[in-house]
Amino acid sequence: MKILSRLFILTGALALTTASHAADTTLRVLYQGNHPAIYEPMAEAFVSSQDQIDVELVHGSGNYEGIMQALLRGRIVGDVPDVSFLGFNFMRMTQDTGAGYALNDFIAAETDLDDRGYIARLSNLCRRGDDILGMPFAISMPVIYYNLDLLDAVGADTSDLSYSWDEIIDVAARVDALGDDVEGSFFSYDASGNWLLKALVESAGGTLMSEDDTEVLLDSAEGQWAFDVLNRLGDAGFANVSRSQARQAFAAGQLAILVDSSSGLNARLSSVEDRFTFGVGRFPVPHENGLLPAGGNCVVMTTDDPERQAAAWEFIKFVTSAEGQRILASNSGYVPNNRMTLQGDGEIGQRFTTDPHYQVPALTIEVAGPSYAFPGENSVRITGVIEEYMRQVLTGETEPEETLQDLKAEVEGLL
């Protein structure tokens, strides 16, 4: 099998063509380019599994915002991929712009998806109204990584990492007091789509906007509580660095608590090596009906050509099948969302059912919910505004009360 490279107009980025035979169709697949270890072996395995469809991987740059913008730019110039991996929080924009095509009829025509391990309820992560706009591919959950050696140094109980935010903040402050060479915590405020702010608010039973999208609820009781948590984390020794730098500091043993995505679990384990005792804890869910927004992406059909749609559906089924999800989980910390992979007897199934590190995100899926996105053409701008206000509160530049008043007014203006 060979992989050829060339420049592709859609993103101005690298495109990889996977081919091992003379195929009838070559699908162009837009993906997040910082995860080649997932998508390249996935494409190769799909091509090897049949002899009619080749795959051209289109390397998209940046985060999910960048991928969505690349897709929309491509639509303007008539240069659209057949399949795109789009963030859960972009399903609203996918529907509003007509960038993706509903899979309802394709799914209805399949009679044995349940027998093949597909988990029907997870399709809600890619649903808008009655339209199933994609199949969930990569699922991550908010988790908390711990340096247990630093926690032991301040006398914290590490036998059970199901801490509340009060306990997390207390431990962070005690670690931060150890000296200038260690920091208490880092909260990934810059995760795509304000993911971890949504996690705080929704875990407390709240939402960012009313159900009918007419009222901004950032200053609700749950919103005030969320920003109070950020403020207290900041006071307890927040590492005022980028997320990449925080991950490096954690790997070096200089950061006690890292609030981040379970998708990086493999990377965290690899980077830590044997430098310290590593632990993973659940993101607190204080409300009995609280949820956590799932992170990750849907695999979306973005071609409107019926023949290419048929080929795209075959690719979509493969990447969400037991084998596709095995490849995903083998090369990342994402939780497989195919039941046969997640609960099977293979190495991946054993990992997520017996390894305490991987059990945390697997169990957290029980409270997984959709990832909200603001309505309107300024949705991406709004997330950027909120991210900056989160940073200001974490770094102590502003107080929560003042921040929430200004933030609500600015978001309302953009809506």
- Count of domains in the chain? 2
The pLDDT of residue 396: 94
pLDDT in tens, 77-97: 999 999 999 999 999 999 999
pLDDT > 70: percent of the chain: 94
Q: Which residue has the higher pLDDT, 153 or 36?
A: 153
Q: Are residues 188 and 64 in the same domain?
A: no
The whole-chain average pLDDT of the chain stands at: 91
Q: Which residue has the higher pLDDT, 15 or 93?
A: 93
Tell me the backbone φ, ψ of residue 129, rounded to 5 degrees: 65, -125
For the cut 50, the answer to whether the pLDDT of residue 13 exceeds it is no
The pLDDT of residue 200: 98
Q: Are residues 6 and 99 in the same domain?
A: yes
Instruction: Supply the Cα-derived Rg of the chain in whole angstroms.
Output: 21
For the cut 90, the answer to whether the pLDDT of residue 377 exceeds it is no
* Residue 140: burial class (beta carbons within 10 Å; 0-12, 13-18, 19+): buried
For the cut 60, the answer to whether the pLDDT of residue 1 exceeds it is no
> For residue 91, how many other CB atoms are within 10 A of its CB?
25
**Rounded mean pLDDT, 57-85:** 90
pLDDT category of residue 59 using cuts at 50, 70 and 90: confident
For the cut 90, the answer to whether the pLDDT of residue 216 exceeds it is yes
Q: In the β-sheet with 135-140, what is the strand arrangement from edge to edge?
A: 2-7, 14-19, 53-60, 25-32, 83-87, 295-301, 135-140
For the cut 70, the answer to whether the pLDDT of residue 281 exceeds it is yes
The pLDDT of residue 2: 36
Q: Are residues 406 and 276 in the same domain?
A: yes
Residues 73/110, Cβ–Cβ less than 8 Å: no
Domain enclosing residue 174, as ranges = 142-292+374-414
For the cut 90, the answer to whether the pLDDT of residue 53 exceeds it is yes
Q: Are residues 17 and 89 in the same domain?
A: yes
Q: Are residues 113 and 205 in the same domain?
A: no
Q: What is the CATH number of the domain that holds 339?
A: 3.40.190.10
The pLDDT of residue 17: 54
Q: Are residues 148 and 15 in the same domain?
A: no
pLDDT category of residue 406 using cuts at 50, 70 and 90: very high
Q: Are residues 184 and 65 in the same domain?
A: no
For the cut 70, the answer to whether the pLDDT of residue 143 exceeds it is yes
**Rounded mean pLDDT, 231-248:** 94
